[in-house]
Amino acid sequence: MADGALTELRRIIDQDDPATTIPLLQDFIHHNPDSRQAIAGLDLANNTILRHPEVLQLLLDNSADINPSCPLLSTPLQHATEHQHWQSTQLLLERNAEVNTRRYARMRLPLHNAALHGHLETCAELVRRGADINAMAQTGTWCGTECDSYTPLMLALGTNQLECARLLISLNADINSRHVCSLSLSLS
């Protein structure tokens, strides 16, 4: 692929305004023979893309890689849930983004992020699509406590997302999960 096509594609996306970006992208796709290859090489885990679902959809319709085999930092779905881009999250799920893939074993999965932010619909959809409801992520300090690992349920409880915690329990989250960071919170 010509580096120039990818550079041009990034310049277009950096416009960060769908009213400007979409016509420029459409023109780029129509007139550049390397456009699909450039789009396929684009990292979608990018706020400039994910905060505009209409831009994301155009890229996905033109060969963007929704499940990169080796994401740079995070997968597009991880990034969308982490930054609360819920419309893009839904679009990625509709396009079968992998729900249990992460770059590093220590990273939060999309379900951790949805639980952290209390986004009930996304939590339910992720579990329906096979997200590991008891997946562990690791960190140093979390909610003011030293913690070696935590589940989505722990994140929901630790951030007072009680409706989300109830949902995760109703979906069979393990309430007896062994972890270093213990919480004694009531759902009442």
Tens digits of residue pLDDT in 73-99: 788 999 999 999 999 999 999 999 999
Residue 180: the pLDDT is: 37
Closest among 84, 177, 172, 159 to 133, alpha carbons compared: 172
* Exposed/middle/buried for residue 30 (C-beta within 10 Å: 0-12, 13-18, 19+): exposed
Domain spans of the chain, in order of start = 1-98, 104-188
Tens digits of residue pLDDT in 31-79: 999 999 999 988 898 899 999 999 999 999 999 999 887 766 788 999 9
- How many other β-carbons are positioned within 10 Å of the β-carbon of residue 46? 17
Predicted TM-score (pTM) of the model is: 0.86
**CATH of 104-188 given 1.20.1250.20, 3.40.50.2000, 1.25.40.20, 3.60.70.12:** 1.25.40.20
